[in-house]
Amino acid sequence: MSTIRVLVGTKKGAFILTSDGKRTRWKVDGPHFGGWELYHLKGSPADPDRLYASQTSSWFGQVVQRSDDGGKTWNPPGTKPEDLMGPDGMPKGQSNMFLYDTSAETGKPLTTHQHYDGSQRPWEFKRVWHLEPSLSDPDTVYAGVEDAALFKSGDGGRTWQELAGLRSAKGHLWQPGAGGMCLHTIVLDRAHPDRIFVAISAAGTFRSDDAGKTWRPTNKGLASKYELPDPDAEVGHCVHCITMHPSRPNVLFMQKHWDVLRSDDAGDSWHEISGNLPSDFGFPIAVHAHEPNTVYVVPIKSDSEHYPPDGKLRVYRSRTGGNEWEGLTKGLPQQDCYVNILRDAMAVDQLDPCGLYFGTTGGQVYASADAGDNWMPIVRDLPPVLSVEVQTLP
Amino acid sequence: MIRVMLPTHLRTLARVDGEVTLRINGPVTQRAVLDALESRYPMLRGTIRDHVTHKRRPFVRFFACEQDLSHESPDTPLPDAVVTGAEPLLIVGAMAGG
């Protein structure tokens, strides 16, 4: 029987939740890296025992952790005894070194972005928001960072190089959202190995078709009338999350600051599919593992009230690719619930029926083993949940 | 031997208990101690001072002999009591945030 492993990043450490394929009895392991913020953990699709984790602290900065045994043991890449020293005799220890590329050879990237007050500020690394392992190589992994940029490691996280062409895509007009100017979403495309989608707050979505060398904004159809009066603004949109089903790589779904949207042409254009949602504000968006037209969102009341409408925690499911949504409530609190679900905190497994998981800022991780019809909490009292990823193991 | 006391989170990261002892050749300064510390424990690189500029991270402080040395030049010799090992150099996470 399959095993499900749920990787949970919280404000005070990481937790690993495991169950057999029935998904009714769970083992909770953790905290790992107790006291640190774990923005994101994710496993390699090419080697499920290879996990990457982003560990951060306002005091001590960024640490990247790697496990080669499914989360039993962890090391910052490049700090094991056998790879301690470089050829110059200096310690490597570069797994947390994210230097913005300022070389002329890679496109003379811009060195400033827009600040809240409209002034230009230099890029300054703060943390890794998202780690996206390659679909085919366990040693290749992408990191989305704040201030927004995309880095790539080809040596298992020991060293990182910026894919600097991204910042050339009108980077001088990007600006921080309330959570900072972060690259939070990375979507890889198995059907087009050189294609990468990213999303940035508050800049929008971007696509590369040449493995990250060059990029262009893909935000046509996004409307942000109070933030961006120009209806044709190419960048500056506060995209919260995008997702795709691997069987249909030209179809993307987006949860924006306001509005849920869909693209049928790989991001070239977008149209709204909010339909009958009680609120089209929210953070995560996910697609069913086996039904590419079944989409999930968790509506939040508003941008100034980050909790569910009416105190009722409801996941909304559309089986029609958007516009027609049904609220899923069985097992979820339907009164006095004022938690939020952050952008990286919802994921699906690959079993049939598809399992769906999300974590809340109240420390609960909820699971559904039947595509959202029924829910149960796996744990209730973790620190605020920042991210949830799921591995389906044979 | 120079004695260094790390904050809890960095002791966990470096997988050490209690104090760290370091042998320093030449003048004993903040820079020399941190160079030796990072050489022994590469996972600490970037957590106390910036990788490139070597500037102290804002919420990290250095204390010894009941003195705050955080604003001293990294090349200023540390107090004799630290040099002789009578007192440790304390690397402290500043009281800030929650």
Residue of A nearest to B38 (CA): A91
Percentage with pLDDT > 70 across chain A = 95
Please tell me the predicted confidence (pLDDT) of residue A92: 62
- pLDDT band (50, 70, 90) for residue A184: very high
pLDDT band at residue B72 under the 50/70/90 scheme: very high
Q: How far is CA A169 from CA A165, A173, A217, A224, A234, in A?
A: 7, 9, 6, 19, 10
Taking 60 as the threshold, does the pLDDT of residue A187 lie above it? yes
What confidence tier does B1 reach under pLDDT thresholds 50, 70, 90?
A: very high
Q: What is the mean pLDDT of chain A?
A: 94
Better-scored residue on pLDDT, A16 or A231: A16
Mean pLDDT for A52-71 is: 96
- State the pLDDT at residue A102: 85
Answer whether residue B92 shows pLDDT above 80. yes
pLDDT per position as a tens digit, A156-171: 999 999 999 999 999 9
- What pTM, to 2 d.p., does this model score? 0.95
- pLDDT band at A226, cuts 50/70/90? confident
- DSSP state letter for A58: T
CATH value at residue A269: 2.130.10.10
- Residue A349 CB-half CA count within 13 A: 30
Report, as an integer, the average pLDDT of A234-240.
95
Residue A308 pLDDT: 98
Strand (E) or helix (H) holding B31: helix B30-40
Question: B12 vs chain A: nearest CA distance in angstroms?
Answer: 8
Distance between CA atoms of A274 and A254, rounded to whole angstroms?
10
Band the pLDDT of A227: cuts 50, 70, 90.
confident
- Domain residues for the domain of A162 are 3-393
Asked if A31 and A13 touch (Cβ cutoff 8 Å), the reply is: yes
Q: How many CB atoms lie within 10 A of CB A92?
A: 20
**Chain B residues with beta carbon closer than 8 angstroms to that of A34:** 12
Quote the CA–CA distance of A385 and A11 in Å, as a whole number: 7
pLDDT tens figures, A197-213: 999 999 999 999 999 99
On the question of pLDDT at A89 being above 90, the answer is no
What are the phi and psi torsion angles at A4 (to 5°)? -110, 130
CATH, range B2-93: 3.10.20.30
Could you tell me if B95 lies within 8 Å of chain A, comparing CB atoms?
A: no
Q: Which two tokens stand for residue A3?
A: 């095993």
Residue A80 confidence (pLDDT):
66
Into how many domains does chain A fold?
Answer: 1
A74-83, A138-147, A268-277, A324-333: range with lowest mean pLDDT: A74-83
Q: Which residues contact A226 (CB under 8 A, 6 or more apart)?
A: none
Q: Of B8, B47, B95, which to mutate for an interface test with A (greatest number of A Cβ within 10 Å)?
A: B47
Contact at CB, A94 and B45, closer than 8 angstroms: yes
Q: Which residues on chain A are in Cβ contact (under 8 Å) with B41? A: 79
The ipTM (two decimal places) reads: 0.91
Size of interface A-B (CB pairs under 8 A): 65
For an interface test with B, the pick among A59, A83, A123 (most B C-beta atoms closer than 10 Å) comes out as A59
* Percentage of residues of chain B with pLDDT beyond 90: 90
Task: Note whether A96 contacts B: Cβ–Cβ < 8 A.
Answer: yes
Closest CA to A285 of A310, A305, A257: A257
pLDDT tens, position by position, A117-162: 889 999 999 999 999 999 999 999 999 999 999 999 999 999 999 9
Question: Given this model, what pLDDT does residue A84 score?
Answer: 56
Q: Give the full edge-to-edge strand order of the sheet including A356-359.
A: A346-348, A356-359, A365-368, A376-379
What is the dihedral sign for C-alpha B42, B47, B52, B54? negative
**Least reliable range by pLDDT among A113-117, A371-375, B76-80:** A113-117
Sign of CA dihedral A222, A226, A230, A236: negative
Q: pLDDT at residue A86 above 80?
A: no
Instruction: Give the model confidence (pLDDT) of A238-281 as tens digits.
Output: 999 999 999 999 999 999 999 999 999 999 999 999 999 999 99
* pLDDT over threshold 60, residue A87: no
